[in-house]
A and B are shown apart, each in its own frame.
Chain A
Amino acid sequence: MRGAKSATWVAGAIVVALGATACGGGSSSASAEPGVVRANWGDPQNPLEPANTNEVLGGKVLDMIFSNLKSYDPKTGEAKNDVAQSIDTKDQQTFTIKVKKGEKFSNGEAVTARSFVDAWNYGALSTNAQKGSYFFADIKGYDKVAPAEGKPTAKTLSGLKVVDDHTFTVTLNEKMSTWPVRLGYKAFAPLPTVFFSKHDAYLAKPVGNGPYAVDSYDKGKQMKLVPNTHYIGEDKPQNKGVLLKVYTDSNAAYADLQSGNLDVDDDVPAEQIRNAKSDLKGNYLSQPAGINQVITFPLYQDGWNKAGMEKVRKGLSMAIDRKAITDKVYNGTRTPATDLTSPVLGDANGYSKDVCGDACTYNPTEAKKLIKEGGGIPGGKMTIGYNADKDSHKQWVDAVCNSINKVLGNDTACVGNPVGTFGDFRNQITKREMTQPFRSGWQMDYPQIENFLTPLYATGGASNDAKFSDPKFDALLQQAGAEPDTKKATDLYKQAEKIVLDKMVSIPLWYQNGTAGWSEHVSGVQLNAFSFPVFTKIKVSS
């Protein structure tokens, strides 16, 4: 009896306590520090080491706290010298890089040639297990520091040589005129000595040479960045700092943006896009990013590779109503694809509006004809494989299948085939276990057509999921690499791209858009080639 009574009391007390705190809570930490931009972030998957970061969440921070030899123009994607004074080559194979004098890390240490060479050697050495190590694979000596089998036989890349404090040379395995374009990628960032001597301290509070410096980092919660007082580059922050807040879900961030608890949200959920313009009173933008989505065919399966199949593959491409899908399923946050690259490259770096042409245009009658001529879908039925654990691929896969089924007049000719985890999905692909077409996405490392071709379609390429192999294509890539004139090189790459498209190894679907919504407190929000907000240009009104 006593028990029952006290239970009532406890329950009553809980109700009162909840009521009290409900009124007390609310706006304590929501108010921003003056001049500081509050932005959406997520927990990075890897430690914040430049060569170990291969996803956007870590990339976003590294982009702010590191300046590279080159940087990409937010509007045109053009690679311009940043920390580099000059990058010269006579033979397209050995490059002499001069580093600007007076550059410093946020702890006051000078940025020298050694900062780069040490960083790159660290990134390449296999025992350091850096996920971006392949970026250094073109540099001479990579096979010694990261042999495919066994222990490394050297600690440093033989192709890297320090000439003086501000000069070093890089020798590549073979000629590659466009190689310097990739030097704006964060894996090539310089590292301060603290990175090597006190690694844990670095990880707790990373030190870089970029426009911002880390002020405090509360792992899994938030990171506060302030302008780097030692920064002398052109990209000086126009605000008093950035507070990156970790969100578990894009809808939560979007809700906070609407409530005024967040200033910049670069991950507006697709289903909200239709409401975003009215919710945010026009403070919203959406533009193509360096990410594309394709359907890849397993060319190692005879069914999909036999004679006539290139017609079927092309027919399938023409059976997909890209415009309707990007409009209805994605509310315009995808842009129908016309090539294998991305519009962020601009014409200069290899983007093309018409290289795919009719083959990427919806044409039900022609599509049906081509599929029939080629012998029809192998076995009469096909599936499109995708990983169901993120990015809601199901929606578009269903839409693509519906589009194909409608053209073929068969309700179940094409169905989606979900795989539970991304890991399982990727394992099936790399082990060549795919029997049916599957989705692939490519997020560019640097805005250059070469990055969209070599890894994906060259014989033995690291991400050649289709296991495509064509000597003519490979020869063109090599020729383009040795071509000293960048424009001519880009044209050669475009010719190579045409080969892949003619055989329809992968069906280009659409380019993903970067989206950003912002609050009334800030202005000047724009996205760069990697779809990161250009934080330095954001102004905060009081």
Chain B
Amino acid sequence: MGRYVIRRLLQMVPVFIGTTFLIFVMVYALGDPVAAMFGDRAPDPATAAQIRESLHLNDPLWSQYLQYMAGIFRGDFGTAFNGTPVSELMGSAFPNTIKLTLVAFAIEVVVGVGLGVVAGMRRGRFVDTGVLVFTLLVISIPTFVTGYLLQYFIGVKLAWAAPAVSVDVHIGELLLPGIVLAGVSLAYVARLTRTSIAENIRSDYIRTATAKGLPRRRVVGVHLLRNSLIPVITFLGTDIGALMGGAIVTERIFNIQGVGYQLYQGILRQNAPTVVGFVTILVVVFLAANLIVDLLYAVLDPRIRYA
């Protein structure tokens, strides 16, 4: 197992290089970012040339990439267009996003798995239909609308929670955005759990466990759930990265200066250091989550082994 983990960690290196290069090429492909800095006005040629030079935009792509990578190994992630070092942006954005992701993730796991278990055990009944309706709702109503409606009714009208997150980013303020962010993933988790549970509830070992006279809670909580969780955990693993990077809409609505927001700004302003820096960290998170998920397979199903 130790060897397996080391092998997986080593594999992160090519993925890291591949992703950074790919993202770099993509931002590069967007073309000259200088024009956008001048608004509706054509840039002054001398100034534009100066900016291009300071951003190494005149160098060939490979040279820009090497300079960037060399910077990263010195701990320098480059600077955003407003002069702020990207590492500083990361330092302020990641804690906010991690908090938000944890809240959303907790909601997703607790509510999603809970609903899924109940729906799977009472297939075709009221709860099952309820989960289906909920799934349809979150898929067909855009996050923008749910976010905005919750903000308006719960935040502004009922004043149960702050409608916009303050600079201190309290966990309590993140509950509302967390619910909004968790929405679609919650539907996936609930339906995955439901299907898995519905499939396994008829399997021999559950029948055996019930026949043995084990208490129902134990049968469900240990035997059934444990054997049904592999697809759910896989999904959750892929979702962590998506939640962190994909919270663009939620972060904007609820005023959270997080990763999604910075990434969005970076993309629109074609700022390669910002985009590559943030995506790189996201990929590392994603790889780590996948590794953990793969190790969990062996915990959930002892027949699965890694060398």
Interface residues of A (CB under 8 A from B): 1, 3-5, 8, 11, 14-15, 17-18, 21-30, 43-47, 54-55, 126-131, 133-134, 137, 146-149, 152, 203, 218-222, 245-249, 251-253, 255-256, 258-259, 261, 389-390, 421-424, 426-427, 430, 440-443, 455, 462-465
Q: Which residues of B contact A23 (CB under 8 A)?
A: 172
- Decide: A251 and B30 in contact? CB cutoff 8 A: no
**Once the chains bind, are B162 and A259 in contact (CB under 8 Å)?**
yes
CB of B221 within 8 A of CB of A28, answer no
A4 in contact with B225 (CB, 8 Å) = yes
Q: Are B31 and A424 in contact, with the CB atoms below 8 A?
A: yes
For the complex, what is the distance from the CA of A24 to the CA of B44, rounded to whole Å? 53
Question: Is B270 engaged at the interface, CB distance under 8 Å to the other chain?
Answer: yes
Contacts of B267 in A (CB 8 A): 421
1/0 contact string of B92-110 vs chain A (CB within 8 Å): 1000000000010010011
B286 to chain A: closest CB distance in Å? 22
By beta carbon, the residue of chain A nearest B173 is A25
Name the one of B43, B172, B221 contacting A26, with C-beta atoms under 8 angstroms.
Answer: B172
B140 within 8 Å of A by Cβ? no
Alpha-carbon gap, A137 to B166, bound state (A): 43
Q: Are A11 and B35 in contact (CB under 8 A)?
A: no
How many angstroms from the CA of A519 to the CA of B79 in the assembled complex?
37
Contact A247 B163 (CB under 8 A): no
Q: Is the CB of A390 within 8 A of B82?
A: no
**The one of B41, B164, B171 that contacts A252, using a Cβ cutoff of 8 Å:** B164
Per the 8 Å Cβ criterion, residues 217-254 of B in contact with A are 221-222, 225-226, 251-254
Residues of chain A within 8 A (CB-CB) of B82 are 43-47
Q: Give the 7 A-B CB pairs with smallest separation, nearest first.
A: A25-B172, A423-B36, A255-B163, A126-B46, A146-B46, A252-B255, A25-B170
CA distance A1 to B299 in the complex (A): 10
A131 touches B38 (CB 8 A): yes
* A25-B54 Cα distance, complex, nearest whole Å: 45
A-B contact pairs, 19 of them (CB 8 A): A3-B299, A4-B221, A21-B170, A25-B172, A26-B162, A43-B265, A126-B47, A129-B47, A221-B257, A248-B255, A249-B252, A252-B254, A256-B255, A261-B163, A424-B31, A430-B43, A462-B41, A463-B42, A464-B42
What CA separation (Å) do A365 and B256 show in the bound complex? 51
Compute how far the CA of A217 lies from the CA of B226 in the bound complex, rounded to whole angstroms. Answer: 51
Choose from B33, B47, B92, B261 the contact partner of A131 (Cβ within 8 Å): B47
Question: Is B167 within 8 A of A221, CB to CB?
Answer: yes
Indicate with 1 or 0, residue by residue over B169-180, a CB within 8 angstroms of chain A CB atoms: 011110100000
Query: Are the CB atoms of B46 and A133 closer together than 8 Å?
Result: yes
Which one of A24, A27, A46, A259 has the highest number of Cβ atoms from chain B below 10 Å of its Cβ?
A259
Determine if A218 and B167 form an interchain contact, defined as CB atoms under 8 angstroms apart.
yes
Q: CA A5 – CA B45 in complex, angstroms?
A: 67
Please determine whether A148 and B45 come into contact, CB atoms closer than 8 angstroms. Answer: yes
**Would you call A29 and B35 a contact (CB within 8 A)?**
no
Contacting pair B162 A21 (CB below 8 A)? no
Residues of chain B within 8 A (CB-CB) of A221 are 92, 167, 257
B106 and A424 contact, CB distance less than 8 A: no
B221 and A8 contacting across the interface, CB-CB below 8 Å: yes
